[in-house]
Amino acid sequence: MSRASSLHRLQTLDLQIDRRQARLKVIGEILGDSAAVSAARQTLSDAEANLRAARSASQRAEEEVASNRAKLEEAEKRLYGGSVHNPKELQDLQAEVESLTRFRATLEDRLLEAMVAAEAAEADQRSAEAALSQAAGQTADRDTALAAERDQLSAEVERLTAEREAALANVTQGDLALYTQVRDNRGGLAVALVQDDTCGACGLTVAHSLRQEIRQGDNLVRCIQCGRILYAG
């Protein structure tokens, strides 16, 4: 195995490890993200607060209707019970009965509106509960699938890392240092395959003399344009 082919094998393993580690990072970020559940929980909290307010308003409206009814009954009892004989007082009671009767319609309208609002708030609360349950279920299903993928990728990284350690046996320290330097400077791609007499990374035509030297495999030949190590395959 030539020096360039040993580095190409090392790069193949490194790229496979890189891809899996990048996916593992994404999975870790997704598993830590419960935005959908948090949003659904906040919606439910808001709906519950609205329901409490609507029920409180409905209760107040009921109390106001009950209070009006009690006042009206008391006024009518005094007006028609025969206990009051003073004309002025009777006139005032008649006016009070008429006023309470008129206001009763207003209070009953308010009560109806409050009851309708409370029913709507209850429907919103039930809908928010269902949405939270759905979001939690979907997140749990997603996390289960991602956890399985994470475990598989972790096992693959472990296997590839072991293969990489074995591949290093064919790489000298000097070649490894050069490979690492070029890889760091060239976006993770240190070795370029020569295809159709050109550098597979930057497309520069490789001179015939260099192609012969690459095929001999005794030396590491670098592309004069991108600086990557050339490998003939």
**What CATH code is carried by the domain that includes residue 155?**
1.10.287.1700
pLDDT value of position 147? 96
Number of domains in the chain: 2
User: Which stretch of 33-47, 66-80, 106-120, 187-201 has the lowest confidence by average pLDDT?
Assistant: 66-80
Centroid of chain to Cα 39: 9
Residues 164 and 185 in one domain: no
pLDDT value of position 1? 72
Instruction: State the pLDDT confidence band at 12, using cuts at 50, 70 and 90.
Output: very high
Of 169, 186, 213, the residue that ends a domain is 169
Centroid of chain to Cα 189: 33
Q: In 3-state terms, what secondary structure has residue 165?
A: helix
pLDDT higher than threshold 90 for residue 111: yes
Distance CA 155, CA 167 (A): 18
Residues 152 and 178 in one domain: no
Instruction: State the pLDDT confidence band at 46, using cuts at 50, 70 and 90.
Output: very high
> pLDDT tens, 213-228?
998 878 999 999 999 9
Query: Which residues are CB-neighbours of 107 under 8 A, at least 6 positions away?
Result: 61, 64, 65, 68
Distance CA 5, CA 103 (A): 96
pLDDT value of position 85? 81
Residues 180 and 76 in one domain: no
Distance CA 227, CA 216 (A): 19
pLDDT value of position 196? 92
Q: Which residue would you say has higher pLDDT here, 83 or 165?
A: 165
Of 138, 169, 200, the residue that ends a domain is 169
Residues 163 and 197 in one domain: no
Residues 51 and 152 in one domain: yes
Residues 159 and 186 in one domain: no
pLDDT higher than threshold 90 for residue 41: yes
Residue 4 lies in a domain: no
pLDDT higher than threshold 90 for residue 76: no
Residues 216 and 110 in one domain: no
Residues 118 and 73 in one domain: yes
Percent of the chain with pLDDT over 90: 82
Instruction: State the pLDDT confidence band at 183, using cuts at 50, 70 and 90.
Output: very high
Of 152, 169, 186, the residue that ends a domain is 169
Residue 196 lies in a domain: yes
Domain of residue 188 covers 173-231
Radius of gyration of the chain (CA): 41
Residue 29 lies in a domain: no
